[in-house]
Amino acid sequence: MTDFMQVGSAGLVAAAAIAIGVQLNLIPLGNLIALVQLGLAIGKTIRPLSDFPYECRHIDHPLLDACEDMWISHTRKLYLACSDSQARKQWFPAVDQYNLTGRSQVDGIVVMDLDQPGLGRYPSRITARRLDTPDYSGVAGDGLLSLTGFTGVDLPDGGVRFLVVNNRPAVDLATGKYAVNQAYAGVNATIEVFEREKGHDFSLRHVSTVASTIISTPNRVAAFGSEGFYITNDHGKVKSGDIARFIAMLGGGDVTFCSYTEGCRVVASGLSYPNGLMLHSNGLLYVPSAAAGGGVYVYQPQGNGSLEKIGKIEAFYAIDNLSEDTGGNIFAAVISKGRETLAYVKDPSRRVPASGVLRICATENGHETEMVLEDRNGEALPATTTVVHDVITGRLYLSGASSPFVTVCNPTVLRAI
C-alpha cells in the first residue's frame, strides 16, 4: 500500500520538512514532483470500465474480505491473504493505523477452486475456505496473524509452501506482553513460513518464523529457491511517523535478501516505495515502485542472493503488487489516484477509488505495457492491490487490502492476453 501527503497539521509539518530536504539536496526535486503527480493523477486520463471488453462482478463472500494479495497454484486454486475491512481502520501498520484493541481476529489464507461451477456467471454462490493454522502461536500466545503480502510455491509432492508478511504488534521485552505504545514501537513484522501438505486440505503447518531487524517494513515476499527469499521494505527502516515515512517514500526503501542459514541483508537501496515484488519464471526479479515516477525495476539475482540491476520498465503509474500468468505476462495493480486510495484504505466506508490493471509483456526490444482494464468511477473493481490472470478462462481476479469483496472480470471478446 501507498502513503501520500495528507491535509492537516501533520501535512503542513511534512511539507516544511520536505522543503528543507529539497533545499539541502537530501530529496531529489524530480522525485517529489513525480510523487505529487502520481498522488493527484495530474496529466492522467483515467478511463471508465465501459471502455474495456470485460464484464465485472463482485464476489461477495464473508471470507473474501480485505484480501491484500492473491496467488494461483498449479492445481488451479486461488489463494488469498484476507483480513477484516473494518478492522483495517484500527490495525494496519502500513498506513500508520496502530489501535491494537481493534486488530483483526480473522486474518488467514483463504482458498477457492477456480473451476467450481458458476464462478463466472454467479460469483456470489461460490465456496471458499479459510485454512487453519493450529500450531502457530502468534505473539504473546495470541495465535493471530496480521497479513498483507505473500507468495506461494508449488512443491514437487503436490503440497504448497507459503511465505507471508505478518505485521505483528510489538512486544515489551521486559514483560513479554504487548507494548503499550504501538505507534512509537512500530510494527514487529516477520515472515512466516507455512506449508499445506498434500492430504491436509484445510490446515497449514507452521514451518518457521523469520525475524530480523532488517525486516522492518516488509511489503511483499518472493521465494528464492530453497536458499531464502526477497522482501521489499517499502519505507526502509522507518516504521512509523508521517513525516519520516513520507520522506522515506522519496528514496528510503530497499530490497532485502534473507538466507535461511545466514540471516538478512539489504541488496538494493535508495528505492522510492518499492512495492509488491515478484520473482519471474525467467529468473529475473521485478520490483515495482509506487512513488517518484512509478515503473518497475528489473534485477538479476546472483547465487548468493545479491542483485544486479539490469534495467527499468518505464510506466508512469503508481504500481502495487505484480503477478505472472502461465504465459509469462506480468499483471500490475495500478493505483490511479494515490491520495484517494489512501483515504479509502484508512476508511473503506468511503467511495471506492479508481484503479486499473497494467499488462507488461516481454518483446524483442524490451517490454511493452498496456492498460487492459481501468475503473474510473469505482463501479466494480476494488481499490485494487493485486490482480491475477487465469489464462485458461481469460478471467481477471482483483482484490484490495481494504475492500470487502473480490472482483471477477470475464472477457466479453476473445483476446490473446
1 part of a folded domain: no
Please name which of 224, 300, 292 lies closest in space to residue 264, comparing C-alpha atoms: 224
250 part of a folded domain: yes
User: Measuring CA to CA, how many Å separate 233 from each of 119, 156, 273?
Assistant: 35, 30, 8
Number of domains in the chain: 1
Would you give the DSSP letter of residue 180? S
- The answer to whether 241 touches 146, Cβ cutoff 8 Å, is no
84 part of a folded domain: yes
Look up the pTM and report it.
0.91
pLDDT by residue for the chain (417 residues), tens digit each? 555 444 444 455 455 555 545 554 445 655 665 566 666 666 678 999 999 999 999 999 999 999 999 999 999 999 999 999 999 999 999 989 999 999 999 999 999 999 998 787 777 789 999 999 999 999 999 999 999 999 999 999 999 999 999 999 999 999 999 999 999 999 999 999 999 988 777 999 999 999 999 999 999 999 999 999 999 999 999 888 776 667 667 788 999 999 999 999 999 999 999 999 999 999 999 999 988 778 999 999 999 999 999 999 999 899 999 999 999 999 999 998 888 998 999 889 999 999 999 999 999 888 999 999 999 999 999 999 999 999 999 999 999 999 999 999 999 976 544
Provide the residue range defining the domain that includes 22. Answer: 9-411
Structure-block grid coordinates of residue 44: 492522467
- CATH code of 119's domain: 2.120.10.30
**HSE of 327, CA atoms in CB hemisphere, 13 A:** 16
- The answer to whether 67 touches 80, Cβ cutoff 8 Å, is yes
**Any long-range contacts for 39-44 (C-beta under 8 Å, 24+ apart)?**
39/4, 39/5, 39/318, 39/337, 39/338, 39/339, 40/337, 40/338, 40/339, 41/336, 41/337, 41/338, 41/354, 44/336
Cα–Cα distance for residue pair 65/254, rounded to 1 Å: 29
4 part of a folded domain: no
Q: Euclidean distance between the first and final Cα of the chain, in Å?
A: 26
**What is the separation of C-alpha 291 from the centre of its chain, rounded to a whole number of angstroms?**
14
